[in-house]
Amino acid sequence: MTTQLPALPVRDVLPALAHALTAGPSVVLSAPPGAGKTTLVPLFLLDQDWAKGGKIILLEPRRLAARAAAGRMAELLGEKVGETVGYRMRLDNRVSGKTRIEVVTEGVFARMILDDPELKGVAAVLFDEFHERSLDADFGLALALDVQAALRDDLKIIVMSATLDVERVSGLLGDAPVIESQGRSYPIDIRYQDRGGDSVEDTMLRAIAEAHRTEDGSILAFLPGQAEITRVATRLQDRFDNNTAIVPLYGNLTQKEQDAAIRPAPSGTRKIVLATSIAETSITIDGVRIVIDSGQQRVPVFEAATGITRLETVRVSRASADQRAGRAGRTEPGIAIRLWHSGQTAALAAFTPPQILASDLSGLLLDCAHWGVSDPATLAFIDAPPETTLAEARKLLTSLGALDEAGALTPTGRKIRDLALPPRLAAMAVAAAEEGQAETACLLAVMLTEQGLGGNSVDLEDRVRRFRQERGDRADASRNLARRMAAELKGAPKSSEPIQPGALLMHAFPDRIALQRGGRGRFVMANGRGAEIPETERLAAASMLVIADLTGRAGGQRVLAAAELTRAEVEAHMPEAITREDQSFFDKASRQVRARRVTRLGAIIFEEAPLTRPTGESAARALADGVRQLGLAILPFSKEAMQMRDRIGFLNRSIGEPWPDVSDEALLDRLDDWFVPFQHGITAIADIKASNLSDGLLSLIPHERQRELGRLAPTHFEAPTGQRHPIHYDGDEPLLSIRVQELFGLKTHPAIGDGRLPLLLELISPGHRPIQTTRDLPGFWAGSWRDVRADMRGRYPKHPWPEDPANAAPTTRAKPRGT
């Protein structure tokens, strides 16, 4: 078939690719945009001896790219999609018994391999545009490598990209050979237009107008997201005649709208395509020879602490900038205009950060449990999933009943995993099926996972109503998918009683059930965090909500999608969520411990009634909460206790274990260890005893080592005169402030810690003014004492200033009269 393939650059390396795959199981192929790797490589592999009778699976990062790749390959074969070449994605499948090349989206492949670990009938798996490093691609490759190592040593794995960190990928694939295809199809003239302080939209408008005026051909303009595209498209509508079409291209568009965007402009006309990064890879927009790149993209960033995935606008990587520029040279020489200063390119990150480092990993963890792996880090990931994010995912899946305490999949977890939905929404569907509401729940879940269905209203009741009536292939396919999902769930017979979205969503987002507090549009969620809805929204007046989507950082979270909820619905459908308990708490105003009986849902308190003042451990723990709120400074430490703390802290810094850290932060972290056990019968800050605090601090030291505190870090130093002087431990090193005459006759430097830790001596005059500091007393006697003596004997003539202080008698007194 090689001779029948188009003369694209990648064709030159196909013999080397065939040789590498005959000799080994894996290959890394690096080929620039326009080289033809996406379409030529799968077709070429069909004729390899090891592929006879087997399927070639080609993974694409997006549905648009998958359809385009399948269409182009089918066209090269003179066939329709669904014959030799087909595609498979969430809402659209075009495969048949004849299909040998399946182009699939990355998420679909992960489910394929999880459901069929042997990948029966599959000869090779190709990961295209792997540089995008999506979570599904990383996970799919990890699973494919696991299958290759344990079950299918004949399975071929090819990782392909135009811009790729080939060394790391090759290492992951067992030092697989790297094959590089050189050169683009056509040259690209890269130009820069620094936008200075202007907005991206204004700069883009000027660049488009100038390029349209001075250059031929259609234009592909990359903008961060749908909002910018919509605004730029509106401002461009009246600038050009009917011979130039303004076409948006982003993920929320229907399949027909997306396919129309990449079709060539009719003869004699031009097209301006305003696109997100959806157009960055694996597609050719015929007629485009000008690319204008804003240099920005919108990426999801997951915060484990809040459980929120928010969209951030960030600079593209150098790899993405190269991919975008490459779109200009696919069919003829092109121009790439970058809306930044040329010097800024070197400051761009080399590659787009992998999603696995900034994504919700609950779905990954659930799939790993299904695979029989409790720790995802044991799989072959290029970048290990962060443990903090995994911990939050485990916590969530356990709360949903999907994992047991050992991290194994539960029967409920198996049902959740079998649905092609995020774990939260799958848990909602499983719970709803038990109440005969599977179809409604699946409809709601599919709507939430397909952007734009039902519109963009914050009110999910409104969106569901619109989605049920929505026309179009995408809406029809989504409703059919929901019905198929519901049919897979075995639960109670379909209920005839209608149920509102809020009563369903609380099973998915129990931590985001919210109560209005603080006025219209202001809510507190069961997880203790606040969220806001614009006051103009109908839901702003609701007393309770369940929030399905929100954005923003902690303290300023804005609701994007929610449904109204009532307490009666919670009690009817999820009664275990509401608890009644007696609790002790610290009243900050009175600085006392109080008790109350509360009815609550997480951090939401519905009712409370006062109880008699508590005693015992519960009171002590509430008092500790007060200390955490007010800080350690509120505690009545005695002077002796503060010195003890300084001494312990010094030993911790100089020796380490077993001497504990007694900094403010450490003591606040360990209040349960040293504070709570010593507050028997205490219910107010004012009643705390200083002696109890001292006993608590001492308890942090192992009992058998407590006596060593006085020996290693004594409170006082006994001078040669017999006088005791306090040692100060509140600085960086222990300090002894002493009159120099009291050290006469001392030939060794004073030290503590069994003589290993020298004191810092602050030598003072008879007038109690510092003379000098030293860490070497013998050296001071032999050295600078002469200058000190000469200066001091004139100031204090009544006091002894011997020439040889190391052999003089120590004294606390002035010289006798007449001497």
β-strands 85-88, 93-94 pairing: antiparallel
Q: Is the dihedral of CA 771, 712, 716, 803 positive or negative?
A: negative
Secondary structure of residue 30 in the 3-state scheme: strand
Q: What is the DSSP secondary-structure string of 399-420? A: HTTSB-TTSPBPHHHHHHHHSS
Query: What is the rounded CA–CA span in Å between residue 545 and residue 601?
Result: 13
Give the separation between CA 422 and CA 430, rounded to whole angstroms: 12
DSSP 684: B
Q: Over the stretch 231-289, which tens digit does the pLDDT of each residue have?
A: 999 999 888 888 899 999 988 787 778 878 888 888 889 999 999 988 887 677 778 89
Q: Residue 365, Cβ neighbours under 10 Å: how many?
A: 27
The first and second tokens of residue 499, run together, are: 């149920």
The H or E element containing residue 326 is: helix 318-326
First and final C-alpha spacing in the chain: 118
Side chain identity at residue 20, one-letter code? A
CB atoms within 10 A of CB 78: 8
- Three-class HEC string of 755-766: CCEECEEEEECC
The closest of 20, 405, 36 to 174, measured between CA atoms, is 20
Sheet holding 604-611, edge to edge: 579-587, 592-601, 604-611
Q: Supply angle C-alpha 417, 420, 425, rounded to 5.
A: 75
Please count the other Cβ atoms lying within 10 Å of the Cβ belonging to residue 703: 8
- The pLDDT value recorded for residue 816 is 63
Place of tokens 């038990």: 434
Which ranges of the chain have pLDDT less than 70? 1-3, 163, 183-185, 282, 305-306, 492, 553-555, 816-819
Of 69, 335, 64, residue with least CA distance to 218: 335
Kindly list the distances between the CA atom of residue 755 and the CA atoms of 28, 598, 657, 708, 813, in Å, as whole numbers in the listed order.
64, 59, 19, 14, 29
Closest CA to 44 of 88, 2, 102, 101: 2
- The pLDDT of residue 305 is 67
Gap between the Cα atoms of 441 and 331, Å rounded? 47
Query: What would you measure as the largest C-alpha separation in the chain, in angstroms?
Result: 125
Nearest CA among 634, 621, 631 for reference residue 586: 621
Walk me through the domains of the chain, giving residue ranges and CATH numbers.
2-180 (3.40.50.300), 188-356 (3.40.50.300), 419-577 (no CATH), 632-711 (no CATH), 714-807 (no CATH)
How far are the Cα atoms of 214, 439, 696 from residue 72, in angstroms, in the given order? 32, 37, 76
Question: Can you spell out the DSSP letters for 149-186?
Answer: HHT-TT-EEEEEESS--HHHHHHHTTS--EEE----SS
Parallel, antiparallel, or unpaired for β 26-30 and 178-180? parallel
Amino acid letter for position 694: S
- A 10 A CB-CB count for 591 gives 16
Place of tokens 């356990």: 398
Antiparallel, parallel or unpaired: β 101-105 and 85-88: parallel
Burial class (CB in 10 A: 0-12, 13-18, 19+), 224: buried
Q: Is 794 left (phi over 0), alpha (psi -120 to 50) or beta?
A: alpha
pLDDT for the residue 513: 94
Determine the pLDDT at residue 358. Answer: 87
Cα–Cα distance, 78 to 631 (Å, whole number): 76
Alpha-carbon torsion (765, 770, 776, 779), positive or negative: negative
- Take residue 601 and report the two structure tokens written for it: 């849902």
Residue 417 CB contacts under 8 Å (≥ 6 apart), including other chains: 366, 367, 369, 370, 402, 409, 423, 426
Cβ–Cβ < 8 Å for 566, 547: no
Characterize the bridge pairing of strands 558-564 and 544-551.
antiparallel
Name the 3-class secondary structure at 127.
strand
Give the span between the Cα atoms of 319 and 326, in whole angstroms. 11
Question: What pLDDT is stored for residue 819 in this prediction?
Answer: 54
Residues belonging to the chain: 819
What distance in Å separates the CA atoms of residue 701 and residue 66, rounded to the nearest whole number?
Answer: 65
Distance CA 60, CA 103 (A): 7
User: Residue 710's pLDDT is what?
Assistant: 85
Enumerate the β-bridge partners of residue 403.
409
User: To 10 degrees, the CA torsion angle through 626, 627, 629, 634?
Assistant: 110
